[in-house]
Chain A
Amino acid sequence: MKLTVVNVTENGVMVVAIEGRVDSSTAPKFRRVLGGVADAGTRGLVLDLENLRFISSASLGVLLEVTKAQARRGGMLAVCSVPDALRKILEISGFDQIIPVHDSQAEALAACSR
């Protein structure tokens, strides 16, 4: 798993690309990093999942945790460029009703900047 900050916009929205596999061995790091970014008071957090090959369900729980933490602080989390297989998982689990899903980074940025 690799997390890269690919962009921080002028109005404080951070774009993080997640690559590779988020499984039980990388989940603690995933939790630490994402939690840290959210705790830093980032107003908007966009996760680009284009090159995410696998995410375990426990780590999806981390995404939800951060989404809720962001909402409590008046911030936002959105994901974009979600691979089809993962998109289906988000749909079946109902998580797409909690985490905003966008087709592109630009769309997600626009939503988080509103």
Chain B
Amino acid sequence: MVVKPPYKILVVDDEPDLEPLMLQRMRRNIRRGQYNFVFARNGVQALDRLHQEDDIDMVVSDINMPEMDGLTLLQQIPKVDPNIRSIIVSAYGDMENIRTAMNRGAFDFVTKPIDFRDLRVTIDRTLQHLMEWREALASRDQLVALQNELTVASKMQQSILPTHFPDHPGYQLFANMEPARSVGGDFFDVVTLENERIGMTVADVSDKGVPAALFMMSTRTLIKGAAIGSAGPGDVLREVNNLLFEDNETEMFVTVLYAEYNPANGEFVYASGGHDPPLLVRPDGSSTSLPLTGGIALGLLPDLNYRQNSVILEPGETIVLYTDGVSEAMTSDEEQFGLERLRDAVAADPGEDAAAANEAVFEAVSDFVGDNPPSDDITCLTFRRTVSG
């Protein structure tokens, strides 16, 4: 059963002011018939509501509350209905609780003070995932062809990708992912950090299908969680690797390039977990692959350390993060796209913005491979320090 909107969202918080604030800030979505909010003041009240009303789609819950806290509530929700998705609201940088919440099945989290735009994006993404999930459940009851499972997985993959990029005078960022017909495992993400810093991820999960899509989703959420309040990209990968390893019973793995940029001083810090290094493209069209940091793909071995490396970006310089779907895109004669063509596509028109440069990469790949269908997902993220930045 795939339920159509409005989606019923249970908001759990002991702060009485949140109810009118939420209704006020989300009024457009309510008026448009997208969301329908109900409220509870603690975990016990929330469970009562969940028992009484069987049409609640998702829960947005605070952590610290009287009678029953949000982390305990998270454990109880699947017993009422395993298909309800939860978002947790936590104090900024409270990794311990965020991690516990994720381990207990929270789908995502937002930090306090609540940024309602961010909450809206997170709610939409969770609902999108919920729809795919329900579709997956519905089709599982029929005899599921592999292709069908892949369609569901690819929808799940699409649902976690950001569609909005930060608007900052100091830099431009744009990314896109074009899924291959059958193989898939790429994703990218962008996370806003303290002091106007920004974190960015490009990653490639080794397998395909629904298990890989779920692995992809936990990777994305764990990176987002670890990035906030971390000591840097190396630290983030070390933490995410350990968390992925704990729950990884298969030999699935993910290669990740995670980087952070500080617009205050132009510093770009990155760490690789088995992923291709960033490509630096200068305004004059020359380019260089930044040094590999030597980390192993994530999810395979515990307690690994990940080195990070940093460069100062000059105004106008561009960083390209990509997956092997770009560099190894192939013609029917098995010739590969390679890094020089990637550089040329990005540098072709220095007057263009990052979005256009990123788009140019996809066009160049498409022109290059001709009618040879892509065998892998193609992901490219273009980050540029603006000339005035």
Which residues of A sit under 8 angstroms from B301, Cβ to Cβ?
A: 98
Which residues of A sit under 8 angstroms from B324, Cβ to Cβ?
A: 89
Query: How far apart are the CA atoms of A65 and B252 in the complex, in Å?
Result: 10
Complex interface: stretch among A5-13, A38-46, A55-63, A100-108? A55-63
Cβ of B253 under 8 Å from chain A: yes
Cβ of B296 under 8 Å from chain A: yes
Interface size class of A (residues with CB under 8 A): 10 to 19
Interchain nearest-CB distance for A63 vs B (Å): 9
Which residues of B sit under 8 angstroms from A91, Cβ to Cβ?
A: 292
Nearest neighbor of A97 in chain B, beta-carbon distance: B296
Query: How far apart are the CA atoms of A63 and B242 in the complex, in Å?
Result: 21
Interface residues of B in 266-308 (CB under 8 A from A): 272-277, 292, 294-297, 300-301
Structural contact, A94 and B206, CB atoms closer than 8 A: no
Binary B-proximity of A60-71 (CB < 8 A = 1, otherwise 0):
111011000000
Nearest neighbor of A31 in chain B, beta-carbon distance: B251
Among B251, B276, B277, point to the contact of A64 (Cβ < 8 A): B251
Nearest neighbor of B205 in chain A, beta-carbon distance: A57
Which residues of A sit under 8 angstroms from B255, Cβ to Cβ?
A: 57, 92-93
Interchain nearest-CB distance for B145 vs A (Å): 15
Nearest neighbor of B183 in chain A, beta-carbon distance: A24
Which residues of A sit under 8 angstroms from B207, Cβ to Cβ?
A: 57-58, 61
Structural contact, B276 and A92, CB atoms closer than 8 A: yes
Which residues of A sit under 8 angstroms from B182, Cβ to Cβ?
A: 24
Among A58, A60, A93, point to the contact of B208 (Cβ < 8 A): A58
Structural contact, B300 and A64, CB atoms closer than 8 A: yes
Structural contact, B273 and A65, CB atoms closer than 8 A: no
Cβ of B108 under 8 Å from chain A: no
Give the interface SS of chain B, mostly helix, strand, loop or mixed: loop
Structural contact, B251 and A65, CB atoms closer than 8 A: yes
Structural contact, A95 and B297, CB atoms closer than 8 A: yes
Interchain nearest-CB distance for A105 vs B (Å): 26
Interchain nearest-CB distance for B24 vs A (Å): 48
Cβ of B14 under 8 Å from chain A: no
Give the interface SS of chain A, mostly helix, strand, loop or mixed: helix
How many residues of chain B get a CB closer than 8 Å to chain A's CBs? 26
Which residues of B sit under 8 angstroms from A61, Cβ to Cβ?
A: 206-207, 250-253
| Contacts A64-B251, A93-B296 given; does A58 touch B206 at CB 8 Å | yes
Interchain nearest-CB distance for A78 vs B (Å): 17
Structural contact, B251 and A98, CB atoms closer than 8 A: no
Interchain nearest-CB distance for B251 vs A (Å): 4
Which residues of A sit under 8 angstroms from B132, Cβ to Cβ?
A: none
- Of B204, B251, B275, chain A has the most CB atoms within 10 Å of the CB of B251
Which residues of B sit under 8 angstroms from A97, Cβ to Cβ?
A: 294, 296
Query: How far apart are the CA atoms of A58 and B299 in the complex, in Å?
Result: 13
Binary A-proximity of B163-205 (CB < 8 A = 1, otherwise 0):
0000000000000000000110100000000000000000010
Which residues of A sit under 8 angstroms from B251, Cβ to Cβ?
A: 61-62, 64-65
Structural contact, B275 and A98, CB atoms closer than 8 A: no
Among A62, A65, A98, point to the contact of B296 (Cβ < 8 A): A98
Interchain nearest-CB distance for B43 vs A (Å): 40
Query: How far apart are the CA atoms of A98 and B292 in the complex, in Å?
Result: 17
Binary A-proximity of B193-236 (CB < 8 A = 1, otherwise 0):
00000000000101110000000000000000000000000000
Interchain nearest-CB distance for A26 vs B (Å): 14
Structural contact, B274 and A95, CB atoms closer than 8 A: yes
Query: How far apart are the CA atoms of A24 and B294 in the complex, in Å?
Result: 27
Structural contact, A94 and B297, CB atoms closer than 8 A: yes
Nearest neighbor of A90 in chain B, beta-carbon distance: B274
The list of the 7 closest CB pairs from A to B, nearest first, reads A94-B296, A93-B274, A61-B251, A57-B206, A65-B251, A58-B207, A94-B274
17 pairs, CB–CB < 8 Å, chain A vs chain B: A24-B208, A57-B185, A57-B253, A58-B206, A58-B208, A58-B252, A61-B252, A64-B253, A64-B300, A92-B272, A92-B274, A92-B275, A92-B276, A92-B292, A94-B294, A94-B295, A94-B297
With A24-B208, A91-B292, A94-B274 known, 20 other A-B pairs at CB within 8 A are A24-B183, A57-B185, A57-B204, A58-B206, A61-B206, A61-B250, A62-B251, A64-B300, A92-B255, A92-B272, A92-B275, A92-B292, A93-B255, A94-B294, A94-B296, A95-B274, A95-B297, A98-B296, A98-B300, A98-B301
